[in-house]
Amino acid sequence: MPNNRVTSEEVYQVKVTLLGTRPPIWRRLLVPATLTLEQLHDVLQLAFGWEDCHMHEFRIGQKRFGKPDPDDRLIGNEHAARLFSVLGRVGAKAVYTYDFGDDWEHSITVEKILPLAASHSYPVCVGGKRHGPPEDCGGVPGFYNLLQAIANPKHRQHKESSDWLGDEFDPEAFSVEDVNQRLAYLTRRATP
């Protein structure tokens, strides 16, 4: 059962995994319990290197959350849904889908609920593996086709794919520091 008491003194450790990726592409984040799903969307965009140019939604159990839509009254307002009210216990899970064409599905799991540390800023990334896929590459199958193309100079799409991604794309690259630099503008000083 969700924790329905309002608390500004808790931080959720969440693990977010991009489903269908092998080995998995994932991030571990510390986020305030009072964060809205709308704000969590912003965090996830930065954590995975997405560009926030497509629609998205959260699914928690049978409930869907996203931007308010007068034509779809079955979707909850992500602006009003706070983590402590929809994911208020250790083990709570959600699915975050970004880009309904490519269908990037992310599993979100609350791993721990921790006391807020006044000496830390949130949100913050504390771990992860692998570079996030580029936008508009065709979802997980398209991403793996792209990786095959750039890895094989004889592949018929090697030059086009390499030109599109650039020479610096390394699918294994991940840096907590880089993610935290992107998160820096969202970060606010924690207050007791």
Q: How far is CA 155 from the centre of its chain?
A: 31
Beta carbons within 8 Å of 81's beta carbon, 6+ residues apart: 36, 37, 58, 65
Query: How does DSSP classify residue 138?
Result: -
Q: CATH 3.10.290.30 occupies which residues in the chain? A: 10-130+173-187
Domain at 10-130+173-187, CATH from 1.20.1250.20, 3.90.700.10, 3.10.290.30, 3.40.50.300:
3.10.290.30
Task: With cut-offs at 50, 70 and 90, classify the pLDDT of residue 33.
Answer: very high
- Please determine, for residue 32, whether its predicted confidence score (pLDDT) is greater than 70: yes
- Determine the pLDDT at residue 191: 38
Confirm if 122 and 188 have CB atoms less than 8 A apart: yes
Q: Which residue has the higher pLDDT, 20 or 69?
A: 20
pLDDT in tens, 51-78: 999 999 999 999 999 987 777 777 899 9
Cβ-based neighbours of 113, under 8 Å, separated by 6 or more:
3, 10, 11, 12, 13, 33, 89, 90
Neighbour count for residue 18 (Cβ, 10 Å): 21
pLDDT digits (tens, 9 = 90+) for 131-170: 999 999 999 999 999 999 999 999 999 999 989 988 788 9
Query: Which residue in 40, 25, 9, 78 sits closest to 183, CA to CA?
Result: 40
For the stretch 131-141, pLDDT in tens is: 999 999 999 99
Contact 97, 17 (CB under 8 A): no
Structure tokens at 111: 């791993």
Query: Which tokens belong to 25?
Result: 């592409």
By residue count, the chain amounts to 192
User: Which residues lie below 8 Å from residue 72, measured CB to CB, with a gap of 6+?
Assistant: none
pLDDT at 39 over 90: yes
Mean residue pLDDT of the chain comes to: 90
Check residue 99 and give left, alpha or beta (phi > 0: left; psi -120 to 50: alpha): left
pLDDT one-digit tens code per residue, 98-133: 999 999 999 999 999 999 888 888 999 999 999 999
